Amino acid sequence: MAAYSHFTVARPTSGNSIMQKHADWLTWGRNLLAIAQNGLAFTKDPFDRERFEQIKEIAKLMLSVQTDMPLELLDRIFCDEKGYATPKIGVRGGVFREDKLLLVREVSDGLWTVPGGWCDVGDSPSSAVEREILEESGFITTARKLVAVYDRNKHPHPPMLFHVYKIFFICDMIGGAPRASVETDQIAFFAEHELPDLSTSRITEAQIHTLFRHHRMPNLAAEFD
């Protein structure tokens, strides 16, 4: 998984209004990059191409100032972003054993989440979540139920460089054994009332409760947004 996959804007020291201003700047810069990328994908006019390149550079400068990311790193992140700009797709899988939920601890921040990550090109969402669970926990699973498709921006995650849709599944364990990975250093099952500190860039407490609710009531319809 790319090193920037969970890059988030540095949190200001205090004040919800300050945090919102940082989130606004991130949104504006991200939208400008999308406009520039779409323009470069479709324009035939050399003068328009030059203007879209200028918009792209201004947007990267805005993001660099707001996130403290070097322009060189932003160039590397966005150098392969071509064609029509769309949100990225991430998947997360809820695996239960005796009414406890499988969580893994992330090496990058020392906090806990359900296994998951980005969808690769050629993956279906279900195969992607099964792969991520195996890689991050050692358990072999099969995706059984779509729980939710969420717009990350509409949930209380820290602001992120990319616009992301998050897909949650309930997955049944069919084999394997707990195994740490380069990304995760602990694997454990937790009851709903004894959750550890969560990696909120990846999952929120409300999303954990949603997984438990769908586990206990399997006929619930999938949620969205």
Q: Where are the domains of the chain?
A: 16-78, 88-224
Arch. (CATH architecture) of 88-224: Alpha-Beta Complex (3.90)
In sign, the C-alpha dihedral spanning 208, 192, 174, 109 is positive
Residue whose pair of structure tokens reads 């324009």 in the numeric block: 43
Closest CA to 87 of 206, 167, 158, 157: 167
Examine the pLDDT at 87 and tell me if it is beyond 60.
yes
3-class DSSP assignment, residue 160:
strand
What pTM did the predictor assign? 0.76
- Measured CA to CA, the distance from residue 212 to residue 217 in angstroms comes to 9
Closest CA to 65 of 120, 108, 21: 21
Q: What is the DSSP letter of 174?
A: E
- 48 neighbors 33 (Cβ within 8 angstroms): no
pLDDT band at 13; cut points 50, 70, 90: very low
Q: What is the pLDDT of residues 177-209, one digit of tens each?
A: 999 999 999 999 999 999 999 999 999 999 999
Closest CA to 184 of 146, 113, 149, 136: 136
Q: What is the pLDDT of residues 31-45, one digit of tens each?
A: 888 898 888 888 999
Mean pLDDT of the chain: 88
Examine the pLDDT at 19 and tell me if it is beyond 60.
no
Closest CA to 149 of 223, 95, 86: 223
What are the contacts of 81-86 at 24+ separation with CB within 8 A?
81/33, 81/37, 82/37, 82/40, 82/41, 83/37, 83/41, 84/37, 84/38, 84/41, 85/33, 85/34, 85/37, 85/38
Lowest mean pLDDT among 26-30, 45-49, 89-93: 26-30
